[in-house]
Structure 1
Amino acid sequence: MAERDIFLTYEGLKKLENELEELKTVKRREIADKIKHALAFGDISENSEYDQVKNEQAQLEERIAKLEMILRNAKLIDDEDISTDIVTVGSKVLVKDLEYDEEMEYTIVGSAEADPYEGKISNESPVGKALLGKKKDDIVDVRVPDGFIKYQIISITR
């Protein structure tokens, strides 16, 4: 995987650091115990518990490697650097859907901490890309699978 800058808020950085610490200390130990238990059944060539726990271990190590890569390439979004004049990574943007006359608030974050259910959208998502660089009152067309959505930017905050 090509390494690139990954934008994180302070909150997102701490969340990923805590997850990594949990995986390296608690989860690795749990898997080691499961492996010991599975090995107690004897012949590993036909031991489904052993195969399952080894797959679990591989998934854990893959997640640890991914988190380490994210943290190695993390660029912390400083609140002081977040403009309220134009949309940047870290901005909270209140938009109005012009077709349905509904308002939504999005926080533009890096892809590693995007969570649409919490209103955190990636700077690489269609909506995030369309909003970046725009100003208050701008009308933004966002390409979606069904066509386009028109948003008007109501406010930009930190």
Structure 2
Amino acid sequence: MTVQITSQGRELVLKTIEEMKKDLKVLREEKNIAYTLCGDTWHDNPHFNKLEQDEKIMDKRIQEIEKTLSLAEFVEIGSRDTEKVALGSIVLCLCEYPEFTEEEVYEIVGYGESNIDENKLYYDSPVAKNLLGLKAGERATFETPVGEASYKILKMYDGWESVKG
């Protein structure tokens, strides 16, 4: 599957890969030490086996991310769309759940940029998918783990400065 990624997302993904490769190097060093300490009984050593499994998992994950990045469609966000929700849009939503209602501001972002603490939603996430294409005043209703949710687009912003201002 091809993903959409912005230049900012690309930088974040490259940084993540670099950090993972450093962690992998440390893991391999630990594995070598464990191998040396256990000698011929390495196959019976649970610590060595765990390190070996962790190494394979991390190496595979790095390869998957690198492949995804190599196949990604690069998208430049010049000016944000304030007419309808798209990649790069910043929207104020009225979020209505069975137990409560709240207003939230979300930014729809590309691959590698999502961060729920900063209200950045990956465009392929369930909530973002339901918001894409909507205009101010329109509503999306969909199922969530806590029941049916309804999100109404109250306002669209041209940047985070507008949200804070």
**TM-score with structure 1 setting the length:** 0.82
1:98 Cα offset (Å): 5.3
8 Å contact kept, 1:35–1:53: yes
User: Unaligned stretches of 5+ in structure 1?
Assistant: none
**Whole-angstrom CA distance in 1 between matches of 2:51 and 2:101:** 51
Give, in angstroms, the shift of residue 111 of structure 1. 5.3
| Residue of structure 2 in register with 1:34 after alignment | 30
SS in 1 for 2:78: helix
**1:73-112: CA deviation from partner (whole Å, max 9, x where unpaired):** 2223312264221101221111123575531011112454
Q: Partner of 1:125 in structure 2?
A: 125
| Structure 2 residues not aligned, in runs of 5+ | 159-165
1:100-144 Cα deviation digits (max 9, x unpaired) = 553101111245433323212232333212211111121222332
Give yes or no for contact 1:108–1:122 (8 Å, CA) kept in 2: yes
Counterpart secondary structure, 1:80: coil
CA RMSD of aligned residues (A): 2.2
Distance 1:148 1:28 in 2: 42
Partner of 2:144: 144
Shift of 1:49: 2.4
| AA aligned opposite 2:129 | K
User: Post-superposition, which runs of at least 4 consecutive aligned residues in structure 1 deviate over 3 A?
Assistant: 98-101, 110-113
Helix, strand or coil at the partner of 1:20? helix
Q: Percent identity?
A: 27
The match for 1:50 is 48
Hey, what's the Cα distance between the residues in 1 that align with 2:157 and 2:73? Answer: 20
Deviates more, 1:84-93 or 1:107-116: 107-116
SS at match of 1:40: helix
